[in-house]
Structure 1
Amino acid sequence: MSFQVKGWQLNIGIRVDLSTLLHIIEAIGILSFACSGFIEARRKDMDIVGVFTVAFITAFGGGTLRDLLLDRRPLFWVEHHEYTLMVFIVALVATPILPHLRSGLSEKIIVIADAVGLGVFSVGGTSLALAAEMPVFVCVMMGVITGIFGGVLRDVICNEIPLVFRRGHLYATCSFAGCWTFLLCDWLLPHTLAVGAGVFVTCALRYLSIRFDLKLPG
């Protein structure tokens, strides 16, 4: 009897740790996409309202569309309102700093932040769709939508052709591969390792596509 109680307590502890880890990963994705929104807004010479708006839409656009398609209520940024507050505070701090960044450094920050956000949100969207018992391919598409749609909205608001629609370095393809990696690993490995593998593959492919100028055929 005592063994069962200890085992039950151990299981509860693991669940709490996993939940905390997933929240941390989600927060990292939000901050990463928000950073790319900050820099893009400042390049367009927007004020604090514009910076926050672009960052907010970039950070929450993909997850909002995912929640609407999966009929999840409340929306994830409403349920976890601290995410919205976090982006608002970072916007206040970052706005006076961003104009002083060198253009080359800004480009590197956007690439890194966008790759991390793409990986985290792609895997997160796939995981939520899997938990909702969606078909496997639908889970992957939900992950891709979650990963890319915030960036699409960011580029549209900033009057740019969305990055995912340009014939440039691999982007949505990286998300697609990362989502499949997560699903395959989730059948073989613990969930946290599967999440890490999916995020890593997405980010690594994005880096390699830029490093070696990899593009889809026209």
Structure 2
Amino acid sequence: MPPAADAGLLALLLTTLEALATLAFALSGLLAAARKRLDAVGVCVVAGLAAFGGGTLRDVLLDRRPFFWVEHASWLWGVLALCIVAMLLLRARHFAPTERAMQWPDALGLGLFSAGGTQVALAQGLPAIVAVLMGVVTAAFGGVLRDIVCNEIPSAFHDHRPYAVCAFAGGWVLVALLALGLPEGAAVLAGAATASGLRVLALLLDWRLPRWSPGPD
């Protein structure tokens, strides 16, 4: 396949990954806003922060323009439509089952954003460690901003189940596979699957990160 075709397929793959991850994280923002009983503006802002915050921070750090959601402005309409539908249909009795169900698309979004963010940074010629950290920022910091606005300690930092660690591992899988000569599209998918799979296993098996113990006073 010609190099131009390969580049086009990779760009399409990254765009698709970002769109799916954006939807997954927008839903998590909706649930957080609903639990706090925010008004319509608050719901849209929190959903937007969850969906776009990590990728925007990545683009700022990489001095990448236009921002990914400016380049794909239709995603803004999609998130707004999602917010409107949720406010019309979502009720308090739906919160618990919906929140449990949202763990799985959130795990999917984690993997997709971590792999996509890592590849975006690698495409700019950045060192592997920086690229992997950009993937973690893309995957985790939308949720961090969501929780900060909702006046909570970010769940990525305090629930002790691996989250950012999963994104970090997925990024390194992507880097390793590229170093071994695997096509970029396949490496991105493998990195995303690794991060998402580790997060799913962490939820199913209740893996816990060690807590900081200050010892006796």
TM-score for the superposition, normalised by structure 1 = 0.90
Question: Which residue of structure 1 lines up, in the alignment, with residue 214 of structure 2?
Answer: none
Aligned-pair identity in percent equals 46
Separation in 2, partners of 1:74, 1:25: 18
1:102 alignment partner, SS class: helix
Q: In the alignment, which residue of structure 2 is the partner of 1:190?
A: 183
Give ranges in structure 2 of 5+ residues lacking alignment. Answer: 212-217
Query: Partner residue of 1:171?
Result: 163
Letter of the structure 1 residue corresponding to residue 106 of structure 2: D
1:155-208 deviation per Cα after TM superposition (whole angstroms, max 9, x unaligned): 111111101210521111101101101111223321111111111111111111
Equivalent residue number for residue 153 of structure 1: 145
The whole-number CA distance in structure 2 between the counterparts of 1:191 and 1:100 is 44
Judge conservation of contact 2:118–2:171 (CA < 8 Å) in 1.
yes
- 1-side partners of 2:105 and 2:124: how far apart? 28
Residue of structure 1 in register with 2:9 after alignment: 17
Residue range with higher mean Cα deviation, 60-69 or 77-86? 77-86
Determine the C-alpha separation between the residues in 1 that align with 2:140 and 2:6: 31
Aligned runs of 1:109-148 on 2, under 5 Å?
109-148=101-140
Report the equivalent of 2:51: 59
Distance 2:97 2:78 in 1: 23
Paired residue type of 2:66: P
- Change in Cα spacing, 1:51 to 1:199, as seen in structure 2 (3 Å) is same
Q: How much is the aligned-residue C-alpha RMSD, in angstroms? A: 1.7
1:92 equivalent in structure 2: 84
For residues 128-160 of structure 1, the C-alpha deviation after alignment (integer angstroms, 9 at most, x for no partner) is: 110111111111111111111100001111111
Contact 2:54 2:139 in 1 (8 A): yes
Distance 2:68 2:4 in 1: 24
Matched to 1:16, the amino acid is G
Identify the residue that residue 3 of structure 1 maps to in structure 2.
none
For these two proteins, the number of residue pairs brought into alignment is 210
* Distance of 2:131 and 2:5 partners within structure 1: 28
- Separation in 2, partners of 1:139, 1:79: 21
Deviating beyond 6 angstroms after TM superposition, the runs of 4 or more aligned structure 1 residues are none
Q: Which whole-Å CA distance do the structure 1 matches of 2:115 and 2:12 have between them?
A: 16
Match of 2:68 among 67, 76, 82: 76
Task: Give the conservation status (yes or no) of the 8 Å contact 2:31–2:95.
Answer: no
Determine the structure 2 residue equivalent to 1:107: 99
TM-score by length of 2: 0.90
Using a 3 Å threshold, how does the CA distance of structure 1 residues 217 and 80 change in structure 2: closer, same or farther?
Answer: same
Q: Pick the aligned partner of 2:200 from 207, 211, 216.
A: 207
Paired letter, 1:121: F
Q: Residues 7-41 of structure 1: CA distance to partner in whole angstroms, max 9, x if unpaired?
A: 75xx5444433332321111001001001111111
8 Å contact from structure 1 (residues 51, 91) kept in 2: yes
Which amino acid in 2 is paired with 1:115? A
Q: Is contact 1:36-1:109 (8 Å) kept?
A: no
Deviation, 1:113, is 2.5
Q: 1:32 aligns with which of 24, 40, 51?
A: 24
Partner letter of residue 34 of structure 1?
A
Kindly report which structure 2 residues correspond to 1:44-55, keeping only aligned pairs within 5 A, or say none. Answer: 44-55=36-47
Whether the 8 Å contact between 1:39 and 1:98 is mirrored in structure 2 is: no
Q: CA deviation at 1:100?
A: 6.0
Indicate if the aligned counterparts of 1:66 and 1:142 stay in contact, CA closer than 8 A.
yes
